[in-house]
Amino acid sequence: MSRLKPLPLLALALLAAGCSSPTLIDPELLARGPGGMVGNGPPLNLEPFAGGNDVLPAARDVPPPNDSAPPNCDAECIAWCDAQPLENPVNRGLCRSLWGVGLEPREIDHGQACRRLFVDMTGRLPTLAEAQETCGDGWHEAVTRLMADEAFLKVNRRRWADVLGYSTEIVNIERIYDADRLVGKLMEGRVPYDLFAAVVSAHPVLTRRYNSPGDRVEALFLLFMGRPPFENERADLGRLYSLWHNGYADHVQLGVVPDAFLHFRCLDENNQVDESRRGECTSVLYGHNELIFIPDIRANYDPRLEAPTLWSGLLSADEWMRLQLPGRVLSQELAFWEQAVEEVLEQYLGYDLARLVPEVRDQLVRWLIDHNGDMRSVHHAVLTSVAYLQSVDGMSSAAYPWTRGPLKQVDAEVWLDSVAHVAGVELAGCDHRIPNPRAFMAEGSINAYRIIDASEWGFSEPDGEGRSRGVDMSYAELAKTMGGCPENVVTGRFKVLSILTTATQLGFINNICDPALEGGDGTASIDRLLPSGVTPTTAVTPEVARSIAAHQLRQFYGRAPLIEELDEAAEAGIECATSTCTAESFARPYCFAALTSAEMLFY
């Protein structure tokens, strides 16, 4: 084999970085990778999505099914459903298993549905004022407005960070920022889902996470097909993944970073295609797809592999596109699109409606493709559907899960951010792009500090002697106990009800509300817990107790208080007033009672 005389990688990295400063990095311009090469035009759909304000029909007057089997929509039922003026694809698909067979969904509770929308789309529980402002003019308008909000992008970026398992211990942070940017483009409707999948299929955040071609194929299948590959699929597509090599790049600004490299394969001693080995680099299960790269001056000799490799940071747009073959071939499968809509249904409903009512899935797949692969269309459709908006209260007409609304547990970050918001308490944060900031800082240089500083992480206040305490992990430690802020090296996000998580939540709320009036850091200002016109020293009467309860319930639960809640508060006020009871000594325990309620955890 002819030995290469490559340019030093450092110099090439400088070139690739656009000859930027050799020492300092701009955290705002950190994203580098194939995600920057797509989705740089206008959104795929400029017109508003239809189906957001369907007028829901009454159930057809037939005996409803008895829960023991899937509903059977006969020809008359099909004709009836086809005649309904439903535009929303979920509603259309659901008709044959709902109204058409005589089933009624639960009614839509406006406040409850709005709260659900707000949490799912912004990542925080709303106050009553926010809920009223958000949902005052129809579901389509609310969803459209929230979808354009930066918070919606952040929620979905975080969701994909969990799915893709970002970790700076596994891959160069520039690639993570690039993937995050790509997700943003997907959720802004500027990248169609099949292109997104193609880019992800050859993105270092995916390839660098796995060590063998077969494992990469498996990850791809689980991600975009919702199942592991069969052996023949694994072996065949593995040929397109065999040229990835997990190495370390000596990054001019970040030091040694884990990154993806190309390991040239199927070549002879002269670096020409070896005809006898060509098949090792060719997938034939989805058409004839060959993937052979030939080293040039960009390649670098890797002494451990005893072969030339090419740092992925030096690949051109055309080369990236060729590497994206695995994602492109999978997107030709119907199951790929079905998985795409199933994920959205699961995200918002918390159960697998696509499997239970395949017509919903079919309708959504057609809807998605009709909208040029714009995933926003599916999010909009699900979020404005009866399956999502209907109430979780009361008994439904049948046991089918689509005859009642979805109830979900909030993510750890949602809970923490919501409590902090209503209590007016500033918390540190965690940044999904840098799941383990301490490890990143330990590996890095001054640039690592700059990146952390510009991220959602913060630094602790210096101690009494002026020494830095490093990255503030207080928020992350709380969130991790409750399943949030995952580090992603092995485990991801989880939701669990356990003694330890509940004890953590109670302890946190105890600190925020301070029911024993002990004072201390991180305690909510009493002003946040009292309505206007009531001072901390105001003597508690039944009426004052009512007004405090009403104020807090509006803030915490995003709804008006119930009569029994006000009556209960009045009684508690009388009980409190048997000894010296000020507004503060009533408001703080009430705050504890309200914020530790199940209503703050489930929505």
Residues 512-541 that bind other proteins (CB under 8 A): 515-516
**Binding span for other proteins by CB under 8 A among 66-74, 77-85, 319-327, 410-418:** 319-327
Q: Is 290 in the site for other proteins (CB under 8 A)?
A: yes
**Binding span for other proteins by CB under 8 A among 3-11, 71-79, 152-160, 318-326:** 318-326
Site for other proteins in 554-593 (CB under 8 A): 562, 564-565, 568-569, 571-572, 575-576, 589-590, 592-593
Site for other proteins in 97-116 (CB under 8 A): 106
Distance CA 513, CA 546 (A): 18
Q: Figure out which of the listed residues 1, 11, 407, 539 binds other proteins, where binding follows CB under 8 A.
A: 407
Name the residue nearer to other proteins (CB basis): 142 or 420: 420
Query: Which residues neighbour 408 within 8 Å (Cβ) at sequence distance 6 or greater?
Result: 350, 602, 603
Q: Figure out which of the listed residues 116, 404, 546, 559 binds other proteins, where binding follows CB under 8 A.
A: 404
Q: Is 352 in the site for other proteins (CB under 8 A)?
A: no
Site for other proteins in 410-469 (CB under 8 A): 439, 442
Name the residue nearer to other proteins (CB basis): 471 or 594: 594
Q: Answer whether 381's CB lies under 8 Å from 343's CB.
A: no
DSSP letter at 349 equals H
Is 33 exposed, middle or buried, given 0-12, 13-18 or 19+ CB atoms closer than 10 A? Answer: buried
Name the residue nearer to other proteins (CB basis): 160 or 508: 508
Q: Figure out which of the listed residues 176, 509, 524, 530 binds other proteins, where binding follows CB under 8 A.
A: 509
Distance CA 229, CA 466 (A): 55
Q: Answer whether 203's CB lies under 8 Å from 173's CB.
A: no
Minimum distance from CB of 134 to other proteins (Å)? 23
Q: Is 246 in the site for other proteins (CB under 8 A)?
A: yes
Q: Is 326 in the site for other proteins (CB under 8 A)?
A: no
Q: Is 499 in the site for other proteins (CB under 8 A)?
A: yes
Q: Is 267 in the site for other proteins (CB under 8 A)?
A: no
Distance CA 386, CA 134 (A): 19
Distance CA 254, CA 235 (A): 36
173-189 in b/e burial notation, b at 16+ Cβ within 10 A? Answer: bbbbbbbbbbbbbbbbb
Q: Is 497 in the site for other proteins (CB under 8 A)?
A: yes
Q: Figure out which of the listed residues 287, 464, 466, 519 binds other proteins, where binding follows CB under 8 A.
A: 287
Q: Figure out which of the listed residues 481, 538, 547, 555 binds other proteins, where binding follows CB under 8 A.
A: 481
Give the rounded distance of the alpha carbon of 118 from its chain centre. 14
Q: Figure out which of the listed residues 21, 26, 230, 470 binds other proteins, where binding follows CB under 8 A.
A: 230
Taken in order 410, 413, 419, 422, is the CA torsion positive or negative?
negative
Q: What are all long-range contacts of 480-485, with beta carbons under 8 Å and residues at least 24 apart? A: 480/412, 481/412, 482/412, 482/415, 482/416, 483/411, 483/412, 484/411, 484/412, 484/413, 484/416, 484/430, 485/412, 485/413, 485/430, 485/435
What are the distances in angstroms from CA 234 to CA 78, 141, 241? 41, 45, 10
Site string for other proteins, 123-152 (x = CB under 8 A): ------------------------------
Name the residue nearer to other proteins (CB basis): 52 or 194: 194
Q: Is 1 in the site for other proteins (CB under 8 A)?
A: no
